[in-house]
């Protein structure tokens, strides 16, 4: 066993992780602010007006990063749930609990901004197509996870029940992501793909990535503060 692996095990202890979480939260909060200011500046002042959609496309700088975070946070939550379920590590379950509210928030933001973008471009606030419906199911999965945790008094049983729901629910993530390919939907295809160059202007892409980084740093900062509360509150 190397010294590096011992350090990882050391931080698996809630008491050892507590000060580290505080340092991570502070750094990420500062980075979130910097990225958000840069992203908003590029998105609102630098990026050009879209030739087809006009100014309304600027919702993309909130909508797409929020949708990415809604899926990413769920995957991370399911990962920590699975680790906690398999290895009975208390910190893993705390991490999953700390992530859920922020994941639900970004899912709601993705749905809300999508609706505001849909009305002027599609002519409707909502349509029951595969992408929108699977994203709504994701919101219900987050709510279900939090409700299950709150409904069971025994902490270990609550963590196991929540972990099962999180692990089963992760099947919804590829459904959301690939829904625009698997079914005919009103929603457009993926904004960014690893297999091809971005189809949008460079400044639009930069603004979107900066906002995604801002939301990412924000999520880590908030989750670290929440996990510190969880550590203190858990008997």
Partner 1 sequence: MGGYGGYVWGGYGVTFALLAIEVFLLSKRKRETKT
Find the binder of partner 1 among 28, 173, 176, 222 (CB under 8 A).
222
Q: With CA atoms as reference, report the closest residue to 227 among 98, 112, 56.
A: 98
Between residue 92 and residue 121, which ones bind partner 1 under the rule CB under 8 A? Answer: 101-102, 105, 108-109, 112-113, 116-117, 119-120
Q: What's the rounded Cα separation, in Å, for the pair 235 and 14?
A: 12
Q: With CA atoms as reference, report the closest residue to 148 among 137, 139, 138, 161.
A: 161
Q: Decide: is 68 part of the binding site for partner 1 (CB under 8 A).
A: no
Residues contacting 89, CB < 8 A, separation 6+: 12, 83
Q: With CA atoms as reference, report the closest residue to 162 among 105, 81, 107, 94.
A: 81
We find the least distance from the C-beta atom of residue 106 to partner 1, in angstroms, to be 9
Shorter beta-carbon distance to partner 1: residue 19 or 189: 19
We find the least distance from the C-beta atom of residue 70 to partner 1, in angstroms, to be 13
We find the least distance from the C-beta atom of residue 218 to partner 1, in angstroms, to be 7
Strand partners, 54: 50
We find the least distance from the C-beta atom of residue 88 to partner 1, in angstroms, to be 24
Find the binder of partner 1 among 28, 66, 148, 173 (CB under 8 A).
66
For 72, the token pair is 């990413």
Q: Decide: is 226 part of the binding site for partner 1 (CB under 8 A).
A: yes
Shorter beta-carbon distance to partner 1: residue 212 or 225: 225
Binding marks (x or -) toward partner 1, 31..50, rule CB under 8 A? ------------------x-
Burial of 103 (0-12, 13-18, 19+ CB in 10 A): buried
Q: Decide: is 233 part of the binding site for partner 1 (CB under 8 A).
A: yes
């Amino acid at each position: 066993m190397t010294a590096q692996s011992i350090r990882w095990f050391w931080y698996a202890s809630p008491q050892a992780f507590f000060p580290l979480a505080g340092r991570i939260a502070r750094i990420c909060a500062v980075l979130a602010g910097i990225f958000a200011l840069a992203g908003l500046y590029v998105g609102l002042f630098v990026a050009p007006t879209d030739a087809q959609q006009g100014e309304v496309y600027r919702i993309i700088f909130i909508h797409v990063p929020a949708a990415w975070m809604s899926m990413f946070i769920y995957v991370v939550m399911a990962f920590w749930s699975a680790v906690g379920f398999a290895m009975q590590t208390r910190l893993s379950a705390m991490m999953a609990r700390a992530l859920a509210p922020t994941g639900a928030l970004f899912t709601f933001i993705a749905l809300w901004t999508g609706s505001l973008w849909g009305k002027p471009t599609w002519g409707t606030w909502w349509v029951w197509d595969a992408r929108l419906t699977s994203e709504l199911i994701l919101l219900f999965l987050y709510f279900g996870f939090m409700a299950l945790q709150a409904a069971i008094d025994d902490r270990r049983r609550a963590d196991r029940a929540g972990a099962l729901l999180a692990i089963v629910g992760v099947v919804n993530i590829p459904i959301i992501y690939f829904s625009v390919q698997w079914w005919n939907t009103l929603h457009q295809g993926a904004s960014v793909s690893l297999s091809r160059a971005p189809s949008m202007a460079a400044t639009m892409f930069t603004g979107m990535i900066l906002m995604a980084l801002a939301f990412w740093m924000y999520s880590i900062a908030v989750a670290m503060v929440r996990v510190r509360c969880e550590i203190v509150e858990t008997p």
